[in-house]
Chain A
Amino acid sequence: MSTTQGTTLAPQLRKRRRKEAVAAYLFLAPWFVGLVAITAGPLLSSLYLSFTDYSLIGDSQWVGFDNYVEMFTDDPRFLKALNNTAVYVFVSVPLQLTFALALALVLDRGVRGLPFYRSIYYLPSLLGGSVAVAILWRQVFGSEGLVNEVLGWFGVEGESWVAHPDTALGTLIVLNVWTFGAPMVIFLAGLRQIPRSYYEAAGLDGAGQLRQFFSITLPLLTPIVFFNLVLQLINSFQSFTQAFVVSGGKGGPSDSTLLLTMHIYQEGFGNFQMGYASAMAWFLVVVIAVLTGVNFLMSRYWVFYSD
């Protein structure tokens, strides 16, 4: 195949193609170095490390699947972290997307001053990942914080929300939901793509607002819902800063805000159990990959592509 192609191609063209390929690999050279040294290379070496016992000093010891077995049989904190992460992700992401969609729908109905409102609601998305906002959160939900101050007006005496094991994770969920602005902007862009003529036609046929929403808006928006869902799930699984700062770096009280990412950090860079930390990190990657895969498979049944 390649020989016949080789003989039919003019030598000049072949030369140009080769030149182009060389140029492409030169343009990509920095990225290749990064791939080997910073992303894919470390990804593979952490897979190797996950089967070893390694503490940065001395050599790594091959232990087979011991780290993975230990996670599920001998580390109650890991199971707790897994549970916390699941609650955090599966409660905050649907709430976040609901707020995002609701606000986008309201703003899309020709409200004047759209850029202004969009900016206001988007701002928390930019600031939400910062240490400064995490510090603020710690105060707002503290025993003398803003929330309890407001509750006080109604005669409710609240305890510290961040210091109580039943509510601490909730404050982090609220923080994640608070950053609904980014998916909202994506929803807004999606809503703009829906041709107005569809609504006019439906209106002429006598379809009410509710009917129009369920028969036009929602189906045509499902690709965007899907996109946001995948993105926010991936993002939320990786949340770290807020839980770390709000809980003072410990994941407390009683491990109630210990997310998987924090447990990995503590084992790897606190206790220098690099092998064990790598195993948990790989577990996290597999969970995210499987969930994303399932999402893509499921999308066939509910995501509507018009073309």
Chain B
Amino acid sequence: MTSNAAAKRAQRAKTNDTLFGRVLRALAGKKLLTHAALIGFGLVMLYPLLWMVSSSFKPQEIIFREPGLIPGDVTLENYTNGWDALQYPFSHYFLNSAIITAGSIVGNLVACSLAAYAFARLEFPLKRFWFALMLGSIMLPLHVTLVPQYILFSELDWINTFYPLIVPKFLATDAFFIFLMVQFIRTLPRELDEAAVIDGAGHWRIFSRIIMPLCTPALATTAIFTFIWTWNDFLSQLIFLTSPDKLTVPVALRNFLDSSGDSSWGPMFAISVLSLGPIFGFFLAGQRYLVRGIATTGLR
């Protein structure tokens, strides 16, 4: 079938008459048109972002007069001004965000993979019930648990510490990732476990020596998504962190907007660009895992 088609194509190419040549050219033209449309649309979509990056290098007074992308006058003023605009330099807030994000990544990797192994590989009473509960908790809006969580954390004296933002991750509360890893572990051949059992390995050894090393793609997806979600997270950081020295980048940015109103767009853009930088970096580095992660579980 295919060789037949190839032969036909070769013959056609040989007898490349004017009509066929014209059709080909028209097709190529149409393709070019598709690409032009796709690039044009992409440009419109990304224009605000590109403009923000370019504006962050423009002197404050010309930002509004220049809708173009090439700055007429380049300056780093916005970055230096923005960096020290609040009580602490932004390096302080970046560090806070980094600590919370790193803690969350470790927590999710450890706790979610443990739970996922049980759901994917072990038999135990009430398994279906717990699994359904776990799936249901994925859809639970944060707003409905926030008030009791706040009460609990204030009883523990954890308000204005990083604990309310990190400890829950060590308790596998981001059930998305349990689900993601369950799906992944299910695709691994069971013969591997059985061989290990014959060799006398217990569940902990099967988990740590066989399943986990094979789960690297799922672990990478989990790490990247945890990074992006935690780095972008706003509501829980807004609620649980109160004093200026504990603020994270998103909350500090929002305070910046609050305190300077709409007057210092330049420095605000500069800090915004810096705050999006790490996400963009992770995006470039981990695209493969991101796309696979969304395709298998519908994560955002």
Contact = CB atoms under 8 A, between A and B. Distances in A.
Interface of A: 17, 20-21, 23-25, 27-28, 30-31, 33-35, 37-43, 45-46, 49, 56, 103, 106-107, 111-113, 115, 117-127, 129-133, 135-140, 142, 144, 146, 149-150, 178-179, 182, 185-186, 188-189, 227-228, 231, 234-235, 237-238, 240-241, 244-245, 248-249, 261, 264-265, 268-269, 274, 277-278, 281-282, 284-285, 288, 292
Contact of A35 (B137, B228, B249): B137
Given A21-B124, A120-B46, A150-B67, A264 B258 contact: no
A248 B148 contact: no
B198 interface: no
A188 B300 CA distance: 15
Contacts of B295: 185-186, 188-189
B143 A284 contact: yes
Contact of A135 (B141, B144, B253): B253
A240 B235 contact: yes
Given A27-B122, A139-B265, A231-B298, A130 B38 contact: no
Interface in B228-245: 228, 231-232, 234-235, 239
Contacts of B145: 38-39, 42-43, 46
Interface of B: 31, 34-35, 38, 41-42, 45-49, 51-52, 64, 67, 110-111, 114-115, 117-119, 122-125, 127, 130, 133-134, 137, 139-152, 154, 168, 170-173, 175, 178, 202-204, 207, 228, 231-232, 234-235, 239, 249-251, 253-254, 257-258, 262, 265, 268-269, 271-273, 275-276, 279-280, 283, 287, 290-291, 294-295, 298-300
Given A30-B172, A38-B149, A42-B152, A144 B139 contact: no
A188 B231 CA distance: 27
Given A38-B168, A136-B269, 19 more contacts: A23-B118, A23-B122, A27-B114, A31-B178, A43-B148, A49-B147, A111-B31, A111-B38, A117-B38, A119-B283, A122-B291, A125-B300, A132-B275, A133-B272, A189-B294, A228-B298, A237-B141, A265-B235, A281-B146
A27 B207 contact: yes
